[in-house]
Amino acid sequence: MNDYYGELCTRIYEIDKSYAGDIELDFYLSFVQDLNMRVLEPMCGNGRMLIPFMQKGINIEGFDISEEMLNVCKEKGKGLNLKPNVYYEKLEEFKGDKVYDLIIIPFGSFSLLPDALVNKSLSNLKSALTSKGKLLLTIMLKYDGIEEIPEWMELDQIQFKDEWIVSYKKVHYNEEESMLITQLKYESVKNGQIEKTEIMDLPIRLYDIEEFENTLKYNGLHHIVIHRLRDGYGKGTICYVIECSA
């Protein structure tokens, strides 16, 4: 059994990642010059970025492969009198019938794609851009001192009324393939009994920036600018956003 961004995972994600923080949000908003621009967010998840965009009146749509994440996005929108235009779609199979002035993939999400899907996905993104359109995407970068966790390590216990969700993690680093093979486990516990378990494989491709720039160029994406965003994912963090266009 493998649940990819399933129900329990999505509920935990919502706890501290319901909405993008101001620094990250303002950065992405700075690329929207007027409300007539068409914006697309592939891998939009729970609408962390998409909903604040909608609240500003921006014409944005998104897609994702997690029905749970998409449902949370729609419900969150409903609570704000918004109707998010989000749907199920795989980035590697995306062939939209429109083009967009801005495409965003925040929060390292592009690193969730295995190497075999990268070129197809970039080609689909390129085809979906207007001639002056910009793509802003984020990847997870290689870092030193990766800590492997061979056995389940408890991460957190979160209480929801009479239920606790306990989360665990395992990590293995395949250096040859630059893959951080992460597994997450979520247990829903009621009255001391485990009522539901979700196990999620989360392989993450770690990149060197130069390597990824070459991949973009190989796929016909140019005018590359690397933005370094201090405190983008919270105080003390640095996030890199890669801007490019066709």
Ligand X SMILES: C[S@@+](CC[C@H](N)C(=O)[O-])C[C@H]1O[C@@H](n2cnc3c(N)ncnc32)[C@H](O)[C@@H]1O
Give the binding site for ligand X (CB under 6 A): 5, 42-45, 48-49, 64-66, 69, 90-92, 106-107, 109, 112-113
CA-nearest of 141, 140, 122, 124 to 244 is 122
Closer residue to ligand X, CB minimum distance, 5 or 100: 5
Return the residue nearest ligand X (CB atom): 45
> In the bound complex, what is the minimum distance in angstroms from residue 12's beta carbon to ligand X?
12
* 162 close to 189: Cβ distance less than 8 angstroms: no
Strand order of the β-sheet with 140-141 is 140-141, 193-207, 179-190, 163-174, 149-160
Task: Give 164 or 203: the residue with its C-beta nearer to ligand X.
Answer: 203
| Contacts of the segment 23-29: beta carbons below 8 A, 24+ positions apart | 23/229, 23/230, 23/231, 23/232, 24/49, 24/106, 24/229, 24/232, 24/233, 24/239, 25/49, 25/52, 27/227, 27/229, 27/232, 27/241, 28/53, 28/104, 28/106, 28/136, 28/241, 29/53, 29/56, 29/58
- Cβ proximity to ligand X: between 75 and 195 the closer is 75
Q: In terms of CB distance, is 195 or 201 closer to ligand X?
A: 201
Give the residue with the Cβ less far from ligand X, 132 or 138: 138
CB 135 within 8 A of CB 221: yes
Rounded least distance, CB 83 to ligand X, Å: 19
Residue whose CB is less far from ligand X, 88 or 195: 88
Q: How far is the CB of 69 from ligand X (least distance, A)?
A: 4
**Shortest Å distance, C-beta 132 to ligand X:** 24
Helix/strand/coil for 115: helix
CB of 222 to ligand X, least distance (A): 24
Q: Which residue has the tokens 């980035």?
A: 91
Three-state SS letters, 199-244: EEEEEEEEECHHHHHHHHHHCCCEEEEEEEEECCCCCCCEEEEEEE
Smallest distance, ligand X to C-beta of residue 68, A: 8
Nearer to ligand X, 21 or 189 (CB): 21
Give me the least distance between CB of 114 and ligand X, in Å please: 9
Element (H, E) at 61: strand 59-64
